Amino acid sequence: MVAHGGSLSAAAKQAEQLKLLGNSCFKKDRFGAAIDAYTEAITLCPNNTVYWTNRALCHRRRNDWAKVEEDSRRAIQLDNKSVKAHYMLGLALLQRQEYIEGVRELEKALDLGRGANPNGYMVEEIWQELARAKYLEWENASTKRSWELQRLKSTCECALNEKYSCHVSQMEGFIDDVDALHSEELKALERVFCEAAEADMPTEIPDYLCCRITLDILRDPVITPSGHTYERAVILQHLQKVTNFDPITREPLNPSQLVPNLAIKEAVQAFLDKHGWAYKV
How do residues 36-87 score in pLDDT, each as one tens digit? 999 999 999 999 999 999 999 999 999 999 999 999 999 999 999 999 999 9
- Each residue of 268-279: pLDDT tens digit? 878 776 664 433
pLDDT greater at residue 38 or residue 2: 38
Cβ partners under 8 Å of residue 246, min gap 6: 224, 226, 228, 252, 253
Q: How many CB atoms lie within 10 A of CB 243?
A: 12
Q: Please indicate whether residue 155 or residue 58 has the higher confidence score (pLDDT).
A: 58
Q: How far apart are CA 185 and CA 192, in angstroms?
A: 11
Which whole number is the average pLDDT over 202-220? 79
pLDDT attached to residue 12: 93
What is each CA distance from 265 to 34, 90, 91, 102, 107, in whole angstroms? 34, 21, 20, 21, 20
For residues 151 and 107, give the distance between their C-alpha atoms in angstroms, rounded to a whole number. 34
Residue pLDDT, tens place only, 224-245: 998 889 988 889 988 988 778 8
pLDDT score, position 253:
92
Tallying the residues shown for the chain, one arrives at: 281
- Give the pTM: 0.59
Backbone angles phi, psi at 222, to 5 degrees: -130, 150
What mean pLDDT value characterizes the chain? 84
Task: Select, from the ranges 134-143, 186-195, 245-254, the one with the highest average predicted confidence (pLDDT).
Answer: 245-254
d(CA 74, CA 49): 8
* High-pLDDT (> 90) share of the chain, %: 40
Element (H, E) at 259: strand 259-260
